Structure 1
Amino acid sequence: MSDAEKTPRRAPAGAAVLQEDVTRAIRAAVFAELASAGYGRLSIEAVAKRAGVGKTAVYRRWKSKLEMVIDVVSAAAEQVTPVPDTGSLDGDVRELIGAAVHALRHPLALQIVPDLLAEAARSPEIAATLEGALRRTQREIGRVVIRSAVERGELPAGTDPEFALDVILGPVYWRLAVIRDELRPDHLDLLARGAVAALAQAGPAGRD
């Protein structure tokens, strides 16, 4: 065996594996900076400092502030809004509403969501990127929930998943993020029943 074969191979320069604990620290720092400074004043430098890493660690993961924020927020949205599988449309809708309420009641969400939407209103780029990222998550959730309901015979074929999520989650967002009023548990049950009834009445494609 040659000396070259005995020597362990090194990873190519620039191919270092991203450390998951560093990524988690940066993601947490992004949320903290969004809550304290808002998107407009958020900077890569501040995020790196709060996470205890160098700026290069951030740039290895995201090319820009916008890409970083959208990725972090989108990943969080996927975690706090899991695809329900209760065996019934009533149960799935109630779980979706409960998950949305839990997410929107978080202090960081109450600060971050309105701020990002305000920034989106001023910046077409932010609006398009934010809408695309969040819509991908919503479409997948809606697609699975509605497909299951159709297969069980609870909804007609052709029911629009995006329309369904508008009906299910729209009132929750309005109540908690816009007018910032509380929702009692019995109100959540009422919203769930109302959403299911509305979807059953709407028919295919969410239209009369």
Structure 2
Amino acid sequence: MLRADVTEAIRAAVFEELAAVGFARMSIEGIARRAGVGKTAVYRRWKSKLSLVLDLLTAFAADGLPAPATGSLYGDVRALLEVAAHALRHPVASQVIPDLLVEAARHPEITDAVRGVLLDGQRGVVASVVRDAVARGELAEGADPDRALDLVVGPLYWRLVVVRDARLPEGYLDDLAAAAVAALRA
């Protein structure tokens, strides 16, 4: 039987190793060293670094984020932006996400897992926000959750991940939330 504490140590080590050296340079040896275990402990659980990373991404996606329920579209959008900004500025995520996007171009399996983590999970949360806003009469029937996702998270993702400017001026998330809500209502 596999020890849960060892499995958790390995999972934590994977994120640290990804942040430190990236997927291409990541090794089972490095993961084992960070986790304080032998390589065999890793190989008992996963057959390769790719299967290990895919498993972790899939588990992360399954955990998901709860949809905000502030009682208003603006409040829900602002809450989504706050959570996304926090996640995208996290030291590990800010290193791992761009690296995995590059690797996704080389490994279709990573593309599917990254899509599950970055798109499908967020899509479900935003769909719930849109459904609630329609029910409250804040958005028209038939409002498109995919468009909402693009409008809400897209600008923040661009700034924090693509441009890599983690400095958000005071009031930036408030202004972005107001602009996204106005665009969704248009």
TM-score, normalisation: structure 2: 0.86
CA–CA distance in 2 between the matches of 1:125 and 1:78?
A: 17
Shift of 1:96: 0.7
Alpha-carbon spacing, 1:160–1:123, altered in 2? closer, same or farther (3 Å): same
Instruction: State the shift of 1:153 in Å.
Output: 1.5
Question: Where does residue 160 of structure 2 map in the other structure?
Answer: 176
CA contact (8 A) 2:58 2:113 kept: no
Structure 1 residue aligned with 2:140: 156
Could you tell me how far 1:124 is from its partner in structure 2?
3.2
CA distance in 1, matches of 2:106, 2:141: 39
Residue in 1 that maps onto 2:151: 167
Structure 1 unaligned regions, length at least 5: 1-15, 202-208
Equivalent residue number for residue 7 of structure 2: 23
Task: Name structure 2 gaps, 5 residues minimum.
Answer: none
Compared CA separation, residues 82 and 55, structure 1 to 2 (3 A)? farther
Alignment CA distance shift 1:131-1:25 (3 Å)? same
Aligned to 2:93: 109
Show the counterpart of 1:7: none
Give the equivalent residue in structure 2 for 1:46.
30
- The aligned runs of 1:1-208 (5 Å cut-off) are 16=1, 18-73=2-57, 75-76=59-60, 81-181=65-165, 182-201=167-186
Deviation at 1:143, TM superposition (A): 2.1
Greater CA radius of gyration, 1 or 2? Answer: 1
**Relative contact order (C-alpha < 8 Å, sep 6+): which is higher?**
2
Query: Secondary structure of the residue that 1:34 maps to in structure 2?
Result: helix
Q: How many residues align?
A: 185
Contact 2:60 2:117 in 1 (8 A): no
Aligned to 1:11: none
Give distance in 2, aligned partners of 1:136 and 1:94: 20
Question: Is the Cα contact below 8 Å between 1:89 and 1:196 reproduced in 2?
Answer: yes
Runs of 4+ residues deviating >6 angstroms? 77-80
1:80–1:99 CA contact under 8 A, matched in 2: no
TM-score by length of 1: 0.78
Distance verdict in 2 for CA 1:54–1:97, change over 3 Å? same
Shift of 1:163: 2.0
